[in-house]
Amino acid sequence: MRNTRWKAASRAAIALTSAGALAAGMALILTAPAAAGTTLGASAAEKGRYFGTAVAGFKLSDSAYTTILNREFNMVTAENEMKMNATEPQQGQFSYGAADQIVNHARSRGMSVRGHTLAWHSQQPGWMESMSGSALRSAMLNHVTQVATHFRGQVVAWDVVNEAFADGSSGGRRDSNLQRTGNDWIEAAFRAARAADPGAKLCYNDYNTDNWTHAKTQGVYNMVRDFKSRGVPIDCVGFQSHFNNDSPYVSNYRTTLSSFAALGVDVQITELDIQGASANTYRSVVEDCLAVARCNGITVWGIRDSDSWRASQTPLLFNSNGSKKPAYDAVLAALNNGTTPTDPPTDPPTDPPTDPPTTPPPGQGGCTATVSVNQWTGGFVATVRVTAGSSAISGWTVTIGLPSGATVTNAWNANRSGNTGTTNWTNVAYNGQVGAGQTTEWGFQANGTAGTLSPTCSAR
């Protein structure tokens, strides 16, 4: 396979050549959004990379938002509009309007598009959540086929499967309705995606896979190695890279990227945000990508802090008023100063050390909960952050009152009681124990308008 290389000049056409096994000859012509070296996208293109962002369709009417988007980025990912509940709200009835709006905006301005995501245990439509077995497998494969076919030729890469591995020390698959259809469900999804769109790169995407020593990272690595050895069509691996106090950037991040690349796949940083927007950490992430020949590019998960799903952590490159942060300057400088290596490493590290214990001891103590909302016309996603008080807690319950007309349709990382009005949420098995002063996050999606949500938290 060939590595992707970007060539750019000021407002000149650039070509991205796919490294996918069946797309080695496909070229996509893009237009650099501004003079080379003065914006994130143009500078990344000079180094043979892209620099992208997640986009919420309802914000395309915000001129301040689109000014930054159009100026700075050359790759776009739909934040929610291509997910399963958005594209197939009723079984067999597909809805592409919101996603098409983002794709058309991007492509008409010379940007490329990453598709996110075809198959996921979360943000499934209600009709799919209640399915199981062969009926669910058939429905999932039909969804993959229909959506990938609709966007054929418009999307350069797909996150075919998202977040299928469990957190913790097992290194195994996440228990989900899709996993329970059979261990080959991921392979089946990739084969269906290849048949539907032979020209797109096909990626596996996950979070907390940044540390090479972690069992989850090794589990994904072993799956990709197996897929490559058996000819399963996988072209790339996406590293979400949501760095925060609970999951910080690690010095072996570059080792992780290069080790996966040595398997013969591209690597992409797909959802980058960094709590507090440390300029040094952003710089390190960019330098790590530039040091790995098969690291195609970086996508930040939002434009301004106010656009982030973790707005309270101020994790992005632009302040809420649209001004550039020191992290922006660090990223641009790293892109401009970087070089493009030509040969990826061939020998990944072996025998990673055993994970140290990471679970805090159980205990009693209070907790608080805060919520950030991503609202669009007709629905919203709420991200809730539970913080333990002065001592560790062994479980938590959060109560949230929803306004009239708001109905929960999906949730992740929490059990729920009630979909309207007063809703109660409790921890799942892996996120009840929270160390003193530490946090855990979960979320839900709902129809309607969020209004002002005021969560309360009790610990046990």
Q: Tell me which residues are annotated as active site.
A: 163, 271
Around 96, how many Cα atoms within 13 Å sit in the side-chain half-sphere?
Answer: 13
Identify whether the C-beta of residue 216 lies closer than 8 Å to the C-beta of residue 256.
no
User: Looking at this protein, which amino acid is placed at residue 63?
Assistant: S
Around 166, how many Cα atoms within 13 Å sit in the side-chain half-sphere?
Answer: 14
- Locate 117 and state its tokens: 């995501």
User: Looking at this protein, which amino acid is placed at residue 402?
Assistant: L
- The residue behind tokens 């109905």 is 407
Identify whether the C-beta of residue 79 lies closer than 8 Å to the C-beta of residue 55.
yes
CB atoms near residue 322 (< 10 Å): 15
Q: What DSSP letter does each residue of 24-75 carry, written as one string?
A: TT-EEEEE-SSSTTSSHHHHHHHTT-EEEEEE-GGGGG-HHHHHHHHHH-SE
> Which H helix or E strand runs over 189?
helix 185-196
Torsion of CA 270, 273, 279, 280, to 10 degrees: -70
Cα 277–52–383 angle (5° rounding)?
55
Q: How large is the C-alpha radius of gyration of the chain?
A: 21
Identify whether the C-beta of residue 4 lies closer than 8 Å to the C-beta of residue 15.
no
Which residues 6+ apart lie within 8 Å of 356 measured at CB? none
Identify whether the C-beta of residue 281 lies closer than 8 Å to the C-beta of residue 334.
no
- The residue behind tokens 């966007």 is 151
